């Protein structure tokens, strides 16, 4: 989070007339959203409780814009009895967000297709390559899909990551996965982009990576992935422009 926070603050600082506040959770959300145009979130938790979620929805319905990255589609994971595995729990805020995280295979190299026209995708090529956690997310409700990739099956080894009953991330064509979209909430909007994993040696929790990242499967101690690509930086800049007035 430390690296991602600095990068996001850097993009926001490009707007000299913008004032930015930073928080570690959704506490006092009503105080911080009052008068704000844009909310940006990155990590899977803490998640908003019922009161905080209600505040968020009221703000969105009145015209607020929420740019959610990466771990925002995650949240609380419950232990599976008799195993060391965990399973993600769908919460109320996932419906507002428009997606729910199931799992991701080991860090891998993959292509991202830009499939929709929107201010967030302005200046992007038709596709770009990245190295990242390829999030398997279940879309919830109607949205304008902007980014996709192809992955017919979850290649996670047994025991890796989180368990799920059904792969609700897989689209009807049997190969497409949604990685980014925008959706309306009242007069406001939510934009979500699943890319953006980064870690330091201290925060790394990846036991190994796909051979497309490292032939020996050893996880890089410091990883920046999509953050170092022109396409992802364009996405984040576009999101800030989309969320701020003028």
Per-residue pLDDT, 116: 81
Residue 13 CB burial class (10 angstroms; 0-12, 13-18, ≥19)? exposed
Q: Convert the pLDDT of each residue in 47-68 to its tens digit.
A: 999 999 999 999 999 999 999 9
What phi, psi does 136 have (nearest 5°)? -100, 105
Residue 246, pLDDT > 80, answer no
Q: Convert the pLDDT of each residue in 82-100 to its tens digit.
A: 888 999 999 999 999 999 9
Average pLDDT over residues 198-206: 94
Q: Convert the pLDDT of each residue in 107-124 to its tens digit.
A: 999 999 999 889 999 999
Neighbours of 122 (CB within 10 A): 13
Q: How far apart are CA 173 and CA 193, in angstroms?
A: 21
Domains detected in the chain: 2-243 (3.40.50.880)
The verdict on whether omega for the bond into residue 39 sits within 30 degrees of 0, i.e. cis, is no
Residue 144, pLDDT > 90, answer yes
Overall residue count recorded for the chain in this entry = 246
Residue 76, pLDDT > 80, answer yes
Q: Report the percent of the chain where pLDDT is more than 70.
A: 100
């Amino acid at each position: 989070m430390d690296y991602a926070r600095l990068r996001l603050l850097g993009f926001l600082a490009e707007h000299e007339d913008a004032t930015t506040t930073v928080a570690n959770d959704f506490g006092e959300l009503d105080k911080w959203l009052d008068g704000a145009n844009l909310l940006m979130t990155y990590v899977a938790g803490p998640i908003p409780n019922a009161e905080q979620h209600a505040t968020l929805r009221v703000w969105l319905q009145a015209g607020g814009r929420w740019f959610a990255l990466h771990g925002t589609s995650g949240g609380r994971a419950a232990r599976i009895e008799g195993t060391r595995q965990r399973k993600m729990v769908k919460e109320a805020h996932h419906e507002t967000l428009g997606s729910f995280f199931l799992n991701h295979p080991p860090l891998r190299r993959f292509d991202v297709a830009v499939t929709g026209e929107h201010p967030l995708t302005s200046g992007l090529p038709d596709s770009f390559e990245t190295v990242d956690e390829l999030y398997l997310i279940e879309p919830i409700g109607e949205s304008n899909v902007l980014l996709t990739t192809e992955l017919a099956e979850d290649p996670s080894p047994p025991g890796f990551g989180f368990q799920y009953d059904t792969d609700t991330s897989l689209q009807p064509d049997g190969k497409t996965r949604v990685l980014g979209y925008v959706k309306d909430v009242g007069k406001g909007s939510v934009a979500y982009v699943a890319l953006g994993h980064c870690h330091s040696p201290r925060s790394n929790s990846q036991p190994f990576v796909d051979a497309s990242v490292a032939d020996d499967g050893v996880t890089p101690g410091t990883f920046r992935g999509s953050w170092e690509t022109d396409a992802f930086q364009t996405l984040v800049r576009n999101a800030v422009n989309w969320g701020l007035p003028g």
